[in-house]
Amino acid sequence: MKHQLSADWSLEYFWNTPYLEVESLQQKIIEKLRIDPKQKYLLVGSHPHCFTMGRGLQKKDGEILENLTEFDELKTQQQFPDWPFYKSSRAGGMTFHHPNQIIIYPLVNLNFVKISLPKIMFLLLESCKISVQDHLQDYVFDGNLLEVKKEPLGLWLSQGASKRKIASIGMALDHFVTCHGLALNLAFDQKVKDMLNQNYPCGLPGDTYAPLFGEGNENKRDTIAQKLVIHFTQVLSKLEHL
């Protein structure tokens, strides 16, 4: 399903689409943006259950960081044979995808947009935060704090002394075109819960991760995704014309 958001933005949805299929789509768009750098693309959707491994380590060689665990690729593949495992060009360590996420992949040519990749990542996280707050202010945030954190990078929900990560981000550049992006957890099915009991995505204990809802609230997905898309594209378009 494709939509035209504005004259310079193309929006396409890919709900529950296999990771490699969307990876191939990103590569095709990157080639287009090398020819026509003025156009911008936003891919919005989710993947079936899978792991992806970024090109960066979860810990730097010789570094000891509290609460970070190094990733064992072979052990993970043996423990979860029904979770496909894919290598990715994005930054960061191992992360997970599942159908009850909202994934946002922005593809823009930075030779034309003139905004840094770290800035785009921050804008994407802030847009996610604002979209969730706008939709759920009477549902989730009674005395809770939703914040974008740099270490470890992501969108975090603080509930008293408890801090839970609800959205992760990892991006890359290919010929100055951004790719990959953000994953917001809406709900965890039993398959995700079982995996998190035995795994350390991005080096963090599984119970660090939390969804916004319990199962059965998937009907909120489209509204949150739409708010996120509108906010992110509007802010980015304003910044590039400053």
Q: Which of 50, 128, 179, 202 is catalytic?
A: 202
Contacting residues for 167 by C-beta, under 8 A, at least 6 apart: 125, 128, 154, 155, 182, 183, 184, 185
What's the rounded Cα separation, in Å, for the pair 88 and 21?
13
Residue 72 one-letter amino acid: D
Tell me if residue 202 is catalytic: yes
**How far, in Å, CA of 181 to CA of 158, rounded?**
23
CB–CB of 189/136 below 8 Å?
A: no
The Cα-based distances of 222 to 12, 39, 135, 217, 229 in angstroms read 13, 24, 11, 11, 10
Q: What is the DSSP string of 127-148?
A: HHHHHHHHHHTTTT-SS-EEEE
CA angle (97 as vertex; 51, 214 as ends), nearest 5: 135
**Which residues does the annotation mark as catalytic?**
202
